[in-house]
Amino acid sequence: QTGSANTNPSDSADDEYITSVSIGTPAQVLPLDFDTGSSDLWVFSSETPKSSASGHTLYSPSKSSTAKKLSGSTWSIEYGDKSSSSGDVYTDVVTIGGFSVKTQAVESATKVSTQFVQDTVISGLVGLGFDVGNQVSPRPQKTWFSNAANSLAEPLFTADLRHQETGSYNFGFIDTSLAKGTIGYTPADGSEGYWGFTATGYSVGGAKLNRNSITGIADTGTTLLLLPDNIVDAYYNNVESAQYDDSQEGVVFDCSEDLPSFSFGVGGQTITISGDLLNLTPIEEGSSTCFGGLQSSADIGINIFGDVALKAALVVFDLGNERLGWAQK
Ligand SMILES: CCCC[C@H](NC(=O)[C@H](Cc1ccccc1)NC(=O)N1CCOCC1)C(=O)N[C@@H](CC1CCCCC1)C(O)(O)C(F)(F)C(=O)NC
């Protein structure tokens, strides 16, 4: 058995990616953000305060004949960007890309932070990280993928995120036609709940890869490529107008700049992110100043290969073999 779901960028900056998910009987379809950086499936619901819920699609467990309250269970989560949510827990059937998990923990939000209230294009998240990262207490719950893995043809999923076009999340199979290059595999470290891995080196503008390894996470729920200052500086030294903008909290440059590419080595392959993918967006509508897709990870404490990096590749999240595969797109 397999599943295949389309995913679409939320806006012109590819800030996040939206995938439709069916929950309950009859199906209630919600637009959710698939996030390999966390391990909770949570949704805006009939239990979310009306003032916070407006503009969002809601899950109503009372309208689902297969919903069951997981009595005594609660959840609370805070994300890297300081957004947060919390609530109680139901189990229900959850179908993604045609594949159904009958008894999936669906975490219902009774509280959401302002960022979520304002982000009306999504009604929650599907955590695709490792189960160890789940935030339900007293008994942590499994992710949708973890519940599905044993029934899927292969215990893996792939992410094919694209710049300003429809991409896909495929479950249980690898569609190699989505990639140009060979898939290079490297061990994945799931001990923190993330999909951790080590890149073997990097280069700017098509130069030969150096051997400076970079340990980080493959994170579909983070917009940017966040790396150490020495790498960020080495890259922007090639961009004449680049400067740090305090108000934007990142490096900006003239939108007319011809940005160099950025490459990293992984599993014996080289993944090259084109200069175009490294220009995220004008800092505001119509501005000729643009915000960089590569920014510093210095004040985060972890390097994140987010959507800017993932857009350059077909990425295989292989739970069965505890490894990550990367292929140039
Ligand atoms: C500090 C480094 C991480 C920042 C990262 N957030 C982000 O990358 C958010 C995502 C977003 C896009 C549009 C609207 C709202 C939010 N984007 C963001 O901070 N920016 C600012 C810079 O310009 C680009 C957009 C994050 O917290 N990612 C979470 C998942 C997101 C949470 C907020 C809603 C969207 C999903 C994560 O799970 O991937 C995590 F691993 F970082 C994490 O916190 N795990 C526990």
What pLDDT digit, counting tens, does each position of 136-166 carry?
Answer: 999 999 999 999 999 999 999 999 999 999 9
What ipTM does the predicted assembly reach? Answer: 0.99
Query: Which amino acid, 163?
Result: H
Helix (H) or strand (E) holding 148: helix 144-149
- Predicted structure pTM score: 0.98
Q: For residue 19, what are the CA distances in angstroms to 8, 22, 239, 264?
A: 7, 10, 35, 28
Q: What is the mean pLDDT of the chain?
A: 98
Structure confidence at residue 297 as a pLDDT band (50, 70, 90): very high
For 54, the token pair is 């407006």
pLDDT of 285 reads 95
Residue 194's pLDDT is 98
Ligand 1 centroid distance, CA of 26 (Å):
32
- Residue among 10, 35, 42, 79 to mutate when testing ligand 1 (max atoms within 8 A of CB): 79
Token pair of 23 as six digits: 């929950």
Closest Cα to atom 31 of ligand 1: 221
Q: How far is the CA of 219 from the centre of ligand 1 (A)?
A: 9
Residue 234 has a pLDDT of 98
Q: How confident is the model at residue 230 (pLDDT cuts 50, 70, 90)?
A: very high
What ligand 1 atom has the least distance to the C-alpha of 306?
A: 8
What spatial distance separates the first Cα and last Cα of the chain, rounded to whole Å?
A: 26
CA of 310 to the centre of ligand 1 (A): 14
Residue 82 CA: nearest ligand 1 atom is 27
Report how far ligand 1's centroid is from the alpha carbon of 114 (Å).
14
Determine the atom of ligand 1 nearest the C-alpha atom of 217: 41
Atom 30, ligand 1: residue with shortest CA distance: 221
**Pocket lined around ligand 1, Cβ cut-off 6 Å:** 15-16, 33, 35, 37-38, 79-81, 83, 115, 119, 219, 221-224, 300, 304
> Residue 43: its pLDDT value, please?
99
Q: Which residues are catalytic?
A: 35, 219
Provide the pLDDT for residue 77: 98
Could you give phi then psi for residue 282, rounded to 5 degrees?
A: -60, 145
Residue 49, helix vs strand vs coil = coil
pLDDT of residue 181: 92
pLDDT in tens, 11-68: 999 999 999 999 999 999 999 999 999 999 999 999 999 999 999 999 999 999 999 9
Q: Tell me if 184 sits within 8 A of 23, measured CB to CB.
A: no
Pairwise CA distance, residues 318 & 172, whole Å: 9
Ligand 1, pocket-test mutation among 19, 42, 44, 81, most atoms within 8 A of CB: 81
Q: Which atom of ligand 1 is nearest to the CA of 222?
A: 8
> Mind listing the pLDDT tens digit for each residue in 90-107?
999 999 999 999 999 999
What is the Å distance from ligand 1's center to 126 Cα?
13
Q: What is the CA radius of gyration of the chain?
A: 20
Q: How far is the centre of ligand 1, averaged over its atoms, from the C-alpha of 62 (Å)? A: 31
Structure tokens at 68: 């069951």
